[in-house]
């Protein structure tokens, strides 16, 4: 029996638009600083998020790219995998607390944002940028704006350690919400120049499972049915769906 002739069949693979938590080489392509609407706003305590849109180096030859504007290739493509990554798993807010040593500690929103921008600007070869710029502005929003306008990060790839929360969308696929490692993860270095030392990703430390994922795991271990998901699931329309795959030719 001769069997099927599959000569000429294109060899294809699939790649997700977004990278997952781990050790990632990527460049910053966009920055977002926004005020979050939370119940604390009514108490006069504003909360913010600082996020970076990261893109990995170009993927294999033959990969067309992901549309920057979905469905409109004329707006250009990202040639690597991308993802928004927050600076923390919690919103940034004014903090006052007593340390284990009994010291009164105050950390403003501006200080927390400045710490991240100072780390990055130093890696981009501008160690004095943060303090020189902070002396010219009165709002933290302007500090972020000047960081974006500087374009110091343009086309500069860094090595990152990306942590995240693992969850499940309504279709039953895993989704990840990424952020820089928290202090509780005891990380020495989460970002550095390419080839320089960055902490090694460890899924048992740097991945936090949501309550939904924990319950699903326990259910499987107990041979029970997985928890049901409904259309009201807030992750129904998440851009992180792992079934959002794209064709890649060798």
Q: Where are the domains of the chain?
A: 14-91+153-222+230-249
Which H or E element spans position 48? Answer: strand 47-55
Extract the tokens encoding 23.
């050790």
- Does residue 135 surpass a pLDDT of 80? yes
Does the pTM surpass 0.85? The reply is no
What is the average pLDDT across 7-11? 56
Least confident of 10-19, 48-57, 112-121, 240-249: 240-249
Mean pLDDT for 79-98 is: 93
Which pLDDT band, with edges at 50, 70 and 90, does 235 fall under?
Answer: very low
Give the distance, in angstroms, between the CA of residue 61 and the centroid of all CA atoms in the same chain: 25
Alpha-carbon gap, residue 143 to 145, rounded angstroms? 5
Band (196; pLDDT cuts 50, 70, 90): very high
CA distance 129 to 125: 9
Identify the pLDDT of residue 92: 94
The whole-number pLDDT of residue 240 equals: 46
Question: What is the pLDDT at residue 226?
Answer: 39
Mean pLDDT, the chain, integer? 82
CA–CA dist 83, 145 (Å, integer): 20
As a whole number of angstroms, the distance between CA 107 and CA 96 comes to 6
Which candidate, 80, 144, 85, places its Cα nearest to that of 109?
144
DSSP 227: P
* Cα–Cα distance, 243 to 175 (Å, whole number): 10
* Confidence category of residue 12, pLDDT binned at 50, 70, 90: low
**Within a 10 A sphere around the Cβ of 197, how many other Cβ atoms?**
10
Helix axes 140-150, 109-123, angle to 10 degrees: 20
Task: Taking residues 57-66, report their average pLDDT.
Answer: 80
Check if the beta carbon of residue 93 is closer than 8 Å to that of residue 119: no
26 burial type by CB count under 10 A (0-12 exposed, 13-18 middle, 19+ buried): buried
Q: What is the pLDDT of residue 154?
A: 96
Q: Band of the pLDDT at 245, cuts 50, 70, 90?
A: very low
Torsion of CA 91, 164, 240, 80, to 10 degrees: 110
For residue 85, pLDDT over 90 is answered with yes
Strand, helix or coil at 199?
A: coil
């Amino acid at each position: 029996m001769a069997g099927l002739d599959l000569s000429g069949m294109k060899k294809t693979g699939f790649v997700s638009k977004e990278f997952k938590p781990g050790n990632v080489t990527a460049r910053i392509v966009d920055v977002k600083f926004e005020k979050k609407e939370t119940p604390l706003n009514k108490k006069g305590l504003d909360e913010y998020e600082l996020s970076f849109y990261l893109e990995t180096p170009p993927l294999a030859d033959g990969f067309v790219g992901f549309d920057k504007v979905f469905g409109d290739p004329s707006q250009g493509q990202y040639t690597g995998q991308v993802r928004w990554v927050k600076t923390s798993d919690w919103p940034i807010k004014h903090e006052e607390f007593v340390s284990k040593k009994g010291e009164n500690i105050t950390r403003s929103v501006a200080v927390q944002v400045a710490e991240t921008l100072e780390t990055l600007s130093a890696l981009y070869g501008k160690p004095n940028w943060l303090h020189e710029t902070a002396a010219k502005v009165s709002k933290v929003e302007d500090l972020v704006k000047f960081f974006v306008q500087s374009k110091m990060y343009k086309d500069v790839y860094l090595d990152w350690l990306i942590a995240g929360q693992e969850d499940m969308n309504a279709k039953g696929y895993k989704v990840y919400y990424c952020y820089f490692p928290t202090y509780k993860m005891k990380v020495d270095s989460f970002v550095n120049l390419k080839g320089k030392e960055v902490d090694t990703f460890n899924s048992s430390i740097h991945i936090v499972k949501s309550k939904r994922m924990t319950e699903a795991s326990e259910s499987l271990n107990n041979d029970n049915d997985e928890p049901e998901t409904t259309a009201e699931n807030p992750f129904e329309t998440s851009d992180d769906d792992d079934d959002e795959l794209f064709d890649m030719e060798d």
